[in-house]
Amino acid sequence: MSAAAPSPCAITESRAIGGVRISMDVKAALTLTGPPLMQRVQGQQIIYALRPPWSQMTAEYGRVQRISTRSPACRTATGIGPGSPAEAVRAAYAAAAASVATAVHDGELVSFPFNGVALLIRGGRVDTVEVFEAESLAASGRPVGPRTAGAPAPRATPVPAPAAWMIRGLAARVEGTTLIVTGSVENRGRPLSVYVEITALDLRGQAAGTADGAVDPVPVPVGGTGRFEARIVLDDVVRRYTVVLRPTGAITGALAEQAGELRGLQQFTPVVLKKLQVTVTPLANPARLVIEVRNGSTVAVSGVTVAVEATTRCFLSYPRPSPIPGGNIYGRFIVDTVTRLVAVPPIAPGGSAQATATLAARLEGCVDLLVLSAKARVVDVRIAD
């Protein structure tokens, strides 16, 4: 029986996905993949978004450094590929010399540095497979004699992945509605261009925003320190954030990861202000305003102050200088602008509260007060820690 032909989308660890090989000339690779959907430059690397079955390719100095796929048609020799169960991954790589598992906000990243492959697992299944040049296992320096005939082969001892990179000095602050995360990284490995991926997590632990930040200098030298700053525009209050350090152009390879916590909810006041909706309803007899504030944020509000501006009209009668035939009232309408500061009671997340402001004419003797129009805005909010 003849051997089966190789799959056009075979994943070969440390070497290739389909016909695109690691260290291949970029022009030759793009001849196979077709024109990229998008490309961007990060430092000395160019990142290409590709059509299926590939998903992304990273090149440096004109050579392919990393290639990834999200296509279920792509498989390794052991049958692992996008869509494979996490249990199958563990079984297929049970004998791997080393593995690095990193928890991310939407799954788990499992990298096998000495196999040259990384897998992003989401919902218990492989989402993305990335191939890169495998790290070399260091020789022990001690000569190994030939095995005695019939003696069993020694079992491989798992080699822990070295902590070549570290994230230090992590700090975060909120300016207006922007979260700013800063920090530094230490490189104890080879020179490499890297970036950080920041994810802000809301009170429910769900992603509330992400941003990438370049690490300077590029590349970070051996024994050197790089610094980064990333900004995320917030739409809601966040309490935690994660920082993942990756090689430039990689979507799965994590060099280091760290998490931080934000304390003091009052710094999120501008964010909560954007989530408050105010409505004003004018009522008559007597003239008054009903102010309703709806809290669209995920935190409780202990109090809100609303500034209300209403345009009113009343009738001011004058003494009659002489009898008027028909008995008509002598006077005129007065239009005025009235402002009030109204305190609204505490509001639960997703809830609403109301307050009422009764109006009176500022001019004595002006009767039949009527609200023609009204508008309101929140001028102060207090967040319940």
The fold of 270-383 is Immunoglobulin-like (2.60.40)
With 0-12 / 13-18 / 19 or more C-beta atoms within 10 angstroms meaning exposed / middle / buried, residue 57 is: buried
Q: Which of 38-47, 52-61, 176-185, 298-307 has the lowest mean pLDDT?
A: 38-47
Candidates 3.40.50.10680, 2.60.40.10, 3.30.1300.10, 2.40.340.10; CATH matching 178-263:
2.60.40.10
pLDDT tens, position by position, 105-133: 677 888 888 889 999 998 899 999 999 98
pLDDT tens, position by position, 64-90: 999 999 999 999 999 999 999 999 999
Global pTM value: 0.54
Q: What local confidence, expressed as pLDDT, does residue 1 receive?
A: 38
Q: What local confidence, expressed as pLDDT, does residue 373 receive?
A: 92
Cα–Cα dist 83/112, whole Å? 18
- Domains 178-263 and 270-383 agree in fold: yes
Q: Which residues, listed in sequence order, are joined to residue 68 by a DSSP beta bridge? A: 56, 130
Arithmetic mean of pLDDT, 262-287: 91
Mean pLDDT across the chain, nearest whole number?
Answer: 84
Give the full edge-to-edge strand order of the sheet including 54-60.
38-42, 45-49, 54-60, 63-69, 125-132, 117-122, 107-112, 100-104
Q: What local confidence, expressed as pLDDT, does residue 204 receive?
A: 76
**Total H helices, total E strands in the chain:** 3, 24
Cα–Cα dist 1/226, whole Å? 58
Q: Which helix (H) or strand (E) holds 270?
A: helix 269-274
pLDDT tens, position by position, 322-379: 555 555 567 889 999 999 999 999 999 999 999 999 888 888 888 889 999 999 999 9
The fold of 11-132 is Pathogenesis-related Protein p14a (3.40.33)
Instruction: Tell me the domain boundaries of the chain.
Output: 11-132, 178-263, 270-383
pLDDT category of residue 253 using cuts at 50, 70 and 90: low
Q: Which helix (H) or strand (E) holds 306?
A: strand 301-317
